[in-house]
Amino acid sequence: MYWNKLPILKAMLESIDMSLVDWSRGQFALTAMFHWIFVPLTLGLSFIVAFMHTIYVRTGDEEWMRITKFWMKLFGINFAIGVATGIILEFEFGTNWSNYSWFVGDIFGAPLAIEGILAFFLESTFVAIMFFGWNKVSKRFHLTASWLTAFGASLSAVWILVANAWMQHPVGTAFNPDTARNEMTNFWDVIFSEVAVNKFLHTISSSFLLASVFVIGVSAWFLLRKREVLFAKRSTVIASVFGVIAAVSTIVTGDSSARIVAREQPMKFAAMEALYEGQTHAPLVAIGAMRTDTTNLSYPRENFIFKIEIPNALSYMVFLTPSGFIPGITDLVFGNEEQNYMSYEERIERGAVAIQTLKELKKAKERGDEIAYDALREKFYDPIWIDQYYQHFGYGYYKGRELKELIPNVKMNFYSFHVMVVLGTHFLIFTMLVLWLSLKNRWGKHKWLLWVALITIPMPWIASQAGWVLAELGRQPWVVYELMPTLTAVSRLKPVAVQITFWIFLVTFTALFIAEIKIMLSQIKKGPGGE
Amino acid sequence: MIRVRLSLFICLKFKNPMLKRIFRFYYDGFRKMTWGRKLWGIILLKLFIMFAILRLFFFPDLLKRDFNSDEERASHVLEQITNP
Ligand code: HEM
């Protein structure tokens, strides 16, 4: 076998310091999660502000102007503090994940460049007009700027989500073995892949939901204090209409996300439901508590302390029929011939062949052996060889390592998925109730409900972060799905260098977060009348 | 005082009335800003920390820094991903 010729590869793999990969991942997770505190509020609040602004322009009612100005101010605070925090992720790509950056080259480069340019124009033009434009430009032009800010923000989210979707499900590209880069073969396949479209819709609607809950909650504070009652009630109506629509759309797109995950990333799906053994008529665990050791493959069934299941629901969710077979973790790791799942052992062998072929190609090129080089190169463009070997490329790195390294953290996936779903259900019921009571002019009469609204404010952030935890931890160990694992993607730096920046980020971001909360609270306390 | 002079100077420089109006729009906006000032302070400080400190000292683009051509970069990455 090829593998026998690779003792150096094996030795090197074993000697990789896992703490470097862990620190690099931790650093990336920290920056991404902090960045994601600001982004969804910007995405959602910009639309709510644009709606309020529209009502003001249409009715000419000064109260709507005050309402618009107040929420615009909170939008501004969040925007200013959050803006550019995402650029740090780009720094990290170049420094900490340089192999990965090179490998994905085109796919990431183009979307991020577009996003950068778009964000720049957005900030310098539309946002400026939105804030400075009162009584300076025509009402219609001003309103247009508010809408363009909202659309621009969502549009700039498109690209980064497309890039993420490609990493989860690499399509529309071909690997060039000379340059070691993936090159785009079909732009439309990349941006309109089912994963990308669904990811965008789920992210955007959950962000709209987050902003609605924020507006309802802050307004509830005014109602509890019996301040600015008209302002608070009107804000609540807008936010609850927006919220109900967003909640329904979040659940619908979440449901289709799950179906797509089941098809494209069966390991993530098995992990998020903690399904160890595949089955037809698979039940859905509604809630449950798991035991500690979840990666122990020899005790696949004993993983719950307790659980409440909905019979057949998992099979039904994926196949719309209870007889659909859902593979469990063991089916995927050890293979299941009957259901056509290749074992990881086999995939590792095939992946190692692909890696070895690439290595030999490089050597042939260096030797100037054109015949060998051409023959090896051809393989990377041969659909049958790609299907048989290259498709398993990333698994090759796990030769000689423990199989459990290929299993994501089941507990984290299970809990993050369930937290998201439980909270999603809470938001739907909550926003519907608020809307119904608002329409009957009874919102604000029950103090305890106002308290619920206040307590609910941070919950969509928890759900949203949980969503990303699921999306990103569920695909581990892959950075580019089944092609590049984290341990290959990472730059070989000294772990201490990564640790230093980790702490710098933690301090900087905590300071920014405190600033956000403080400035927001002080402006909320001043209310719509304050400057 | 300096601000007013600067504004006059730039206004005179912009012969085109459209450009002049745009400049005035931004200039007045920033001048009359109240709560936004603190935010601009934060934005500038943040950009300074990010670009002047982090980017410069902690986050070099490794492949750009260490290699001169794309060919060298490709060869390095190939080496890395086939000998991880
Ligand atoms: C019943 C409700 C929900 C279901 C079934 C659901 C399902 C999912 C699934 C399966 C994923 C992973 C997608 C992937 O890995 O490609 C996901 C991700 C995500 N979810 Fe949810 N979700 C629900 C509710 C929510 C709520 C309430 C929020 C936030 C307010 C939210 C925010 C997110 C975010 C931000 C992501 C990461 C982006 C993405 O991969 O789409 N989800 N959700």
Per-residue model confidence (pLDDT) at position B10: 55
Measured between CA atoms, the residue of chain B closest to residue A126 is: B26
Candidate from B26, B46, B60 with C-beta closest to A84: B46
Candidate from A13, A91, A359 with C-beta closest to B54: A91
- Whether residue B72 lies inside any domain: the answer is no
- Residue A472 CA, closest ligand 1 atom number: 15
- Whether residue B80 lies inside any domain: the answer is no
**Nearest CA owner, ligand 1 atom 5:** A254
- Whether residue B48 lies inside any domain: the answer is yes
- Whether residue B70 lies inside any domain: the answer is no
- Whether residue B74 lies inside any domain: the answer is no
Cis peptide before A477 (omega within 30 of 0): yes
Per-residue model confidence (pLDDT) at position A9: 47
Measured between CA atoms, the residue of chain B closest to residue A82 is: B43
Cα distances (angstroms) measured from residue B18 to each of A262, A492, B22, B30: 56, 53, 6, 19
- Chain A partners of B46 at a C-beta cutoff of 8 Å? 81, 84-85, 508, 512
Q: Distance (Å) from the C-alpha of residue A38 to the closest C-alpha of chain B? A: 14
Q: Which of A127-136, A145-154, A260-269, B63-72 has the highest mean pLDDT?
A: A260-269
Q: How many domains does chain B have?
A: 1
* Dihedral (Cα; A327, A329, A332, A337), 10-degree rounding: -60
Per-residue model confidence (pLDDT) at position A216: 98
Q: Distance (Å) from the C-alpha of residue A169 to the closest C-alpha of chain B? A: 20
- Chain B partners of A98 at a C-beta cutoff of 8 Å? 61-63, 77
- Whether residue B73 lies inside any domain: the answer is no
- Chain A partners of B23 at a C-beta cutoff of 8 Å? none
CA separation for the pair A386, A182 (Å, rounded): 14
Q: What is the largest CA-CA distance in chain B?
A: 65
- Chain A partners of B40 at a C-beta cutoff of 8 Å? 80
CA separation for the pair A45, A55 (Å, rounded): 15
Asked whether this complex has an ipTM greater than 0.85, the answer is: no
Asked if residue A471 has pLDDT above 70, the reply is: yes
Average pLDDT over residues A18-39: 91
Per-residue model confidence (pLDDT) at position A254: 97
Tens digit of each residue's pLDDT (9 = 90 or more) over A345-363 = 999 999 999 999 999 999 9
Tens digit of each residue's pLDDT (9 = 90 or more) over A422-432 = 999 999 999 99
- Whether residue B52 lies inside any domain: the answer is yes
To which residue do tokens 């906006």 refer?
B29
The answer, yes or no, to whether any atom of ligand 1 lies below 6 A from the CB of A470, is yes
- Residue A195 CA, closest ligand 1 atom number: 16
- Whether residue B68 lies inside any domain: the answer is no
DSSP A228: S
Which of A102-111, A283-292, A490-499 shows the lowest mean pLDDT across its residues?
A102-111
Name the β-bridge partners of A326: A279
**Domain span at residue B34?**
2-59
Average pLDDT over residues A76-85: 86
